Amino acid sequence: MQLTPEVLMQGYASGIFPMAEHRHDHEVFWVDPRRRGILPLDGFHVSRSLRRAMRRSAFTVTINEDFAGVVDACADRPDTWINDTIRGLYLALRSRGQAHSLEVRDAGELVGGVYGVVLGAAFFGESMFSRRTNASKIALACLVDRLKDGGFQLFDTQFLTAHLASLGAVEISRAQYRSKLFEARNADADFLAPPVRSLYDVAHRMTQMS
């Protein structure tokens, strides 16, 4: 079966996602983890030091201004599962309004970011990158703030890493994940509705919620 944007979204709706073995591998395979990583939106942990850094930071945040740049930066590492096929598919989803990016900038330069796919009230985080201290943590904090404000119910991180666990991510069973996915994919949310806030405002909002 040819992997098209439509097939890709059907995969997400059923709880699976695509990967490649490496950048130069032309094959793409589906992944269905026995244990799934999610980041509960009400359980996101922002340390006091990170909130302080956000209040003092000169970084700015943009939405969907350089989706391709974020994808390419995420793939710019020795080992990556983002091959040309996957890159093209996510660019196609972006053009259809089904994928979004959040960029962190330093004097206009792209220094961090995250991108993912939206289906109903589910956000499937695909990858993130950082070229400055705290840039990926700041991207994640701003993303969580946006997802909560936009009415999202599920933030899928695919796998649980030590980094994500330190920020509040957890693992759940495949059955638990699919139950949450079924509810979220049939609910409404809007990624673009929340305003683009300053890092100071995001940090302040998270302080109030903690």
Distances (CA, A) of 151 to 122, 155, 165, 191, 192: 9, 11, 23, 8, 11
Domain boundaries, the chain: 5-209
Residue corresponding to tokens 């509705």? 193
The predicted structure's pLDDT at residue 210: 60
Task: Please give the average per-residue pLDDT across 177-188, as a whole number.
Answer: 98
pLDDT tens string 112-146: 999 999 999 999 999 999 999 999 999 999 999 99
The predicted structure's pLDDT at residue 149: 97
For the question of whether the overall pTM of this predicted structure is more than 0.85, the answer is yes
CATH number attached to the domain at 5-209:
3.40.630.70
pLDDT tens string 2-53: 899 999 999 999 999 999 988 888 889 999 999 999 999 999 998 999 999 9
**Which of 37-51, 69-83, 170-184 has the highest mean predicted lDDT (pLDDT)?**
170-184
Q: Cα–Cα distance between 188 and 193 in angstroms, integer?
A: 12
pLDDT tens string 160-171: 999 999 999 999
Answer yes or no: is pLDDT of 184 > 80. Answer: yes
Q: Cα–Cα distance between 55 and 199 in angstroms, integer?
A: 6
**Is the model more confident about 184 or about 25?**
184
Residue in 103, 118, 106, 31 with CA at minimum distance from that of residue 73: 103
